């Protein structure tokens, strides 16, 4: 790929590069067999709270959504955790594991000359810590956070901010995300977007908007990007 045609790739972080279900291991020490259910409810409510805050224009950063979602999940499932225990879990959320295919996938597209950015609902400090823990930070030119806008994905304003920060045209910018709502949001805002469908049973939202491409592993990404395979 020539320098003048370098493609901009923006990677979602939570659920795309790092495994949010990985928190179940830490949860198991506190709630035993309830851990997978609590981890899923925690994640679901975390996203729901971000959507609601975006719509209400009552922004509080992603850490607040994560904390409130943990409180809800514990109350809903009857997990009686202390403040100290919840604090330890929130700290563990800053050290989620990377998916096994991520390192190879990022290296493959970086070798092709693409520009790589981390693009997340998390604050810059949170995402930086998370990527450094997973030994992925060095792959990215920069971190673009919704915190700069004061809203959350899939608000069109956050995708516009991505284009502004990366100095990229929408037609040359691809989002890579494991979250269908993020893929739909990016395409609605004029970008291209790849759905990373890790779970064969996952269902994409039956909307009028479909992914630009679908892959099952991040190292398949070069196969679906135009002009780089």
Provide CB contacts within 8 A for 183, sequence distance 6+.
Answer: 175, 177, 193, 194, 195, 204, 211
Report CA-CA distances (Å) from 226 to 32, 140, 196.
46, 21, 17
Torsion angle of the four alpha carbons 31, 35, 41, 43, in this order, in degrees rounded to the nearest 10: 110
> Would you say 176 and 186 are in contact if contact means Cβ atoms under 8 Å apart?
no
* DSSP alpha helix (H) spans, the chain: 23-31, 35-56, 62-77, 83-92, 102-111, 124-133, 156-166, 180-188
Q: What is the C-alpha R_g of the chain?
A: 17
Q: Tell me which residues are annotated as active site.
A: 12
With CA atoms as reference, report the closest residue to 120 among 109, 131, 112: 131
d(C-alpha 111, C-alpha 128), whole Å = 22
């Amino acid at each position: 790929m020539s320098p003048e045609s370098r493609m901009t790739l923006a990677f979602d972080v939570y659920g795309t590069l790092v495994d949010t279900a990985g928190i179940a291991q830490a949860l198991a020490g506190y709630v035993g067999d309830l851990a997978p259910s609590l981890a899923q409810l925690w994640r679901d409510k975390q996203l729901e709270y971000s959507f609601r805050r975006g719509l209400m224009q009552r922004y509080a950063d992603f850490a607040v959504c994560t904390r409130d979602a943990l409180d809800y999940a514990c109350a809903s499932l009857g997990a009686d955790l202390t403040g100290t225990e919840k604090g330890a879990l929130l700290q563990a959320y800053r050290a989620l594991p990377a998916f096994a295919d991520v390192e190879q996938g990022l290296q493959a597209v970086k070798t092709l000359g693409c520009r790589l950015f981390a693009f997340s609902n998390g604050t810059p400090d949170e995402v930086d810590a998370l990527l450094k823990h997973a030994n992925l930070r060095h792959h990215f030119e920069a971190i673009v956070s919704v915190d700069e806008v004061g809203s959350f994905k899939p608000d069109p304003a956050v995708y516009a901010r991505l284009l502004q920060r990366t100095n990229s045209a929408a037609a040359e910018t691809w989002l890579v995300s494991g979250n269908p709502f993020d893929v739909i949001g990016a395409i609605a805002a004029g970008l291209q977007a790849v759905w990373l469908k890790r779970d064969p049973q996952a269902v994409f939202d039956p909307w009028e908007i479909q992914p630009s491409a679908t892959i099952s592993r991040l190292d398949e990404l070069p196969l679906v990007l135009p002009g780089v395979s």
